[in-house]
Chains A and B, each alone.
Chain A
Amino acid sequence: MPAPDNELATLGDQYDSLETQERSLELGMWIFLATEILLFAALFALYASYRSMYLADFKAGIEHNTLAFGTVNMYVLLTSSLLAALSVSAVRADRPRTASWLLGGTALLGAAFLAIKLCEYWRHWQEGSLPGRYYHDRELPTFGANRFFTMYWVMTGLHALHVTAGVGVVTWMAVRARRGFYTRAVHARLVIGTLYWHLVDVIWIFLWPLLYLS
């Protein structure tokens, strides 16, 4: 169902073919994702540093954390990633409406992730497991636990911001897929949007064991 006024199929002056243009878009996205990894790298390094300094307190903080919420969110994000990947397969099989439904499912699961995260934050708020000088959790009255929950809020907060942006992007792509903007030949913008969503998934794959498991 190619749209006759599909501006995505317009060839830029600097390209000699649509394929080159599509490949360039994807390469640009991969380089952007690499910079996103480096953004989180600083936080992972800070986490590793504090964990080395306050190992026992970090273990206590992890045991005190809300494992059920984090685990459900792990499965939610993995499922959403599958749907996003299948949407690319659907477009490549000339089934844009299927892709639209799959992207809609991805966005819904992303929203579910955020809703669960809000419940989790509310629980920490009630316990007093807040970042920095606002920390007043009576069950874990240690500097190390304070550091752990500061890292928890910063890392999951930054990740949640990425999820929020991702939900917006995926919703927008779902609408565009329904209107037939993505075709078998021209769908790099769909690919780069789903790449972003998969990166959000990959970051959570590492946050989950570090903040909830071990």
Chain B
Amino acid sequence: MWATHVRAVHRVWAYLALLALATLSLLLGTQLHWYWADVAISLSIAAVKTYLVLWFFMDLADQPFQARLAVLVAVTLLALLVSLTVADVATRRVMPMKSTPEPSEGFYQR
């Protein structure tokens, strides 16, 4: 009954790729410090890993159009929300509001 394209061996190969990507992310994250670029690289690797999980573990390839649309809409809304939030914060004139606490607050040093 089930028209499935993903076989067990595909899942194992995807798992090996996921392990390799996780290790790559770990090495880049701990060895390289490229300021803002390192988070972009590690999130890009995370996006590739997510694609592998969706396609080879969650069988998104075998799902009808509506299921793929649900995923697409959720991911688009997530990207919109995060990018607009960052754009808002990054373009404000006075941020952060309270980066230097009052001396009376004692514990905090910056």
**Complex interface: chain B residues within 8 A of A37 (CB):** 74-75, 78
Q: How far is the CB of A5 from chain B (nearest CB, A)?
A: 21
| Contacts from B to A (Cβ < 8 Å) | 1-2, 4, 6-8, 11-12, 15, 18-19, 22, 25-26, 29-30, 38-39, 41-43, 45-46, 49-50, 53-54, 56-59, 63-64, 66-67, 70-71, 73-75, 77-78, 81-82, 85-86, 88-90, 95-96, 98-99, 101, 107-110
A34 in contact with B57 given A26-B67, A48-B86 (CB within 8 Å): no
**Complex interface: chain A residues within 8 A of B26 (CB):** 71, 213
A82 to B10, CA, bound (A): 11
**Complex interface: chain B residues within 8 A of A40 (CB):** 78
Binary interface profile of A, 180-204, with partner B (CB < 8 Å = 1, else 0)? 0000110000010011001001100
**Complex interface: chain B residues within 8 A of A185 (CB):** 1
A144 to B75, CA, bound (A): 28
**Complex interface: chain B residues within 8 A of A31 (CB):** 70
Give the residue of A19, A85, A201 whose beta carbon is less than 8 angstroms from that of B11.
A85
A33 to B53, CA, bound (A): 14
A185 to B2, CA, bound (A): 8
29 contacts between A and B (CB under 8 A): A27-B67, A30-B67, A30-B71, A34-B70, A34-B73, A35-B74, A41-B81, A45-B82, A45-B85, A49-B85, A52-B86, A53-B89, A75-B22, A78-B15, A78-B18, A78-B22, A82-B11, A89-B8, A90-B8, A143-B101, A143-B108, A146-B108, A184-B1, A201-B53, A201-B57, A209-B25, A209-B45, A213-B25, A214-B38
